[in-house]
Amino acid sequence: MSKHNLVCENISYSVGEKNILRNISLSLGHQKTGLVGSNGVGKTTLIRVFVGELKPSSGAIFVDGKIGYLPQNFSANKEDSVAVVFGIDQKLAALEKINSGNAAQSDFEIIGDDWDVLMRAKVALDKVNLSYVDLSRQIKSLSGGETTRVFFARLLLNDPDFLILDEPTNNMDLESISSMERALQNYKGALMVVSHDEMFLKNIGVDDKIDATKFKI
């Protein structure tokens, strides 16, 4: 596993009597991979198996490191703040109490060793060109493209070894697409992107493409 972040061996997936994937074997290393192919050939099913959302009917998956996954369709509570989406709202509240001198012991327990959480969150937002978005800002005040970038920034905040993105540019404006491209150009980990956007794949520097058409039963 030293050379590969993700290996799947003879993966099959069925729903009832219908075979969706059959005997798929892949080895993905420290590279940028595009997963391409027409709708209905099993791209999203395959990556959902990769990240553990679906259990394969047979075969095995080996993952070296932490996966960050951005699904094609994700649910966002419009009332949530960016800090809530990031999962750091309690830490930020505790940090504020500590800095103001009004902290309880529980606040120190909430922070743990994560004293730079505020800085890391701001860096993650900056990576997707959202430095102007405050962590207290509600999701309902953001555009669709900004919301997708916030959820992508959440992945970067967690420092994954392997990113898997499913059609990340869907419903994105040009500014958001450009921001995603720059972030992925600078990303140093392994990457798999499902996309129909050939220009996007080219701009982020995809090293290899896998045509999922060959997976079709």
Domains, the chain, with CATH or none: 5-80+143-214 (3.40.50.300)
- Condensed to tens digits (0 to 9), the pLDDT of residues 80-138 reads 999 999 999 999 999 999 999 999 999 999 999 999 999 999 999 999 999 999 999 99
Distance separating alpha carbons of residues 147 and 170, to the nearest angstrom: 12
**Residue 150: its pLDDT value, please?**
97
Q: What string of pLDDT tens digits covers the 217 residues of the chain?
A: 345 588 989 999 888 888 888 888 888 888 899 999 877 778 888 899 989 899 999 999 988 889 999 998 888 899 999 999 999 999 999 999 999 999 999 999 999 999 999 999 999 999 999 999 999 999 999 999 999 999 999 999 999 999 999 999 988 899 999 999 999 999 988 999 999 999 999 999 998 998 887 765 4
Token digits of residue 200: 């996007």
Asked whether the beta carbons of 149 and 128 are under 8 A apart, the reply is yes
Q: Kind and range of the H or E element at 148?
A: helix 144-157
Q: In the chain, at which residue ranges do the beta strands (DSSP E only) sit?
A: 4-15, 18-29, 32-36, 58-63, 67-70, 162-166, 190-194, 208-211
Query: What are the φ/ψ torsions at residue 116 (nearest 5 degrees)?
Result: -100, 20
Three-state secondary structure call for residue 27 = strand
Distance separating alpha carbons of residues 180 and 168, to the nearest angstrom: 8
Residue 75, judged by CB atoms within 10 A of its CB (0-12, 13-18, 19+), counts as exposed
Burial per residue of 146-181, b for 16 or more beta-carbon CB atoms within 10 angstroms, e otherwise: bbbbbbbbbbbbeebbbbbbbbbbeebeeebbebbb
The dihedral built from the CA positions of residue 35, 6, 206 and 166, taken in this order, carries a sign that is positive
Token digits of residue 57: 């009917």
The structure tokens 């394969």 sit at: 56
**Residue 215: its pLDDT value, please?**
64
